[in-house]
């Protein structure tokens, strides 16, 4: 198994908005440290474009709490699917398993997981490594949305790869 850690959209503007954002950033930073210790590449996706993610705007920067290193790869993306015209597939050449974390559970995390398995990658979705905001219109808390996506993504039939859900403490040990 050749793995890579992919961190989705952990940007300064989103950390105070999503459920437990600071705690999530710290958990992902620890996971990234363990990945690096094992020689596993760390790739951080950064959403750019649109009114919320203008290039160069302070909130668009990746969260400082992640402690990204010079050897980590940063890829800018313009769509919810982290693979869409971003070069992510090329960066992951030779990788068969993606350990996926980040925000938002029901947007970019979901789209990137589904795209990854359709491209033949196996995905380990970090159970406690992604977050979102509540959806009051649907009557769902952030915790409910996260749990629902963990369940749906791990149970869905995917054409290329598989999705497993594991807590951060069990990964890269």
Return the pLDDT at 157: 82
Mean pLDDT confidence for 75-89? 97
Segment 53-72, tens digit of pLDDT: 888 888 899 999 999 999 99
* Res 74: pLDDT: 98
Instruction: Give 3-170's CATH code, choosing from 3.40.50.150, 3.40.228.10, 3.40.50.850, 3.30.2310.20.
Output: 3.40.50.850
Q: What is the 3-state secondary structure (H, E, C) of the chain?
A: CCEEEEEECCECCCCCCCCCHHHHHHHHHHHHHHHHHCCCCEEEEEECECCCECCCCHHHCECHHHCCCCCCEEEEECCCCCCCCCCHHHHCCCCCEEEEEEECHHHHHHHHHHHHHHCCCEEEEEEEEEECCCECCCCECHHHHHHHHHHHHHHCCCCCCCEEEECHHHCCC
pLDDT at residue 86, as a whole number: 98
Q: Which of 39-43, 57-61, 118-122, 125-129 has the lowest mean pLDDT?
A: 57-61
What per-residue confidence (pLDDT) applies to 7? Answer: 98
Domain ranges of the chain: 3-170
């Amino acid at each position: 198994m050749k793995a890579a850690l992919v961190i989705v959209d952990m940007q300064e503007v989103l950390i105070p908005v999503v459920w437990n954002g600071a705690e999530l950033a710290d958990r992902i930073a620890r996971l990234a440290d363990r990945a690096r210790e094992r020689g596993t590449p760390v790739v951080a996706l950064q959403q750019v474009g649109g009114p919320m993610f203008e290039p160069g705007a302070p909130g668009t920067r990746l969260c400082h709490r992640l402690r990204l290193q010079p050897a980590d790869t940063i890829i800018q993306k313009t769509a919810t699917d982290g693979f869409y015209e971003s070069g992510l597939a090329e960066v992951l050449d030779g990788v068969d398993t993606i350990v996926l974390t980040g925000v938002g559970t029901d947007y970019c995390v979901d789209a990137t997981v589904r795209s990854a398995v359709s491209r033949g990658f196996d995905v380990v979705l970090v159970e406690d490594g992604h977050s979102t905001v509540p959806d009051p219109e649907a009557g769902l808390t952030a915790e409910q949305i996260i749990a629902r996506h963990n369940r749906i993504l791990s149970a869905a039939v995917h054409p290329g790869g598989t999705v497993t859900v594991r807590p951060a403490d069990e990964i890269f040990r």
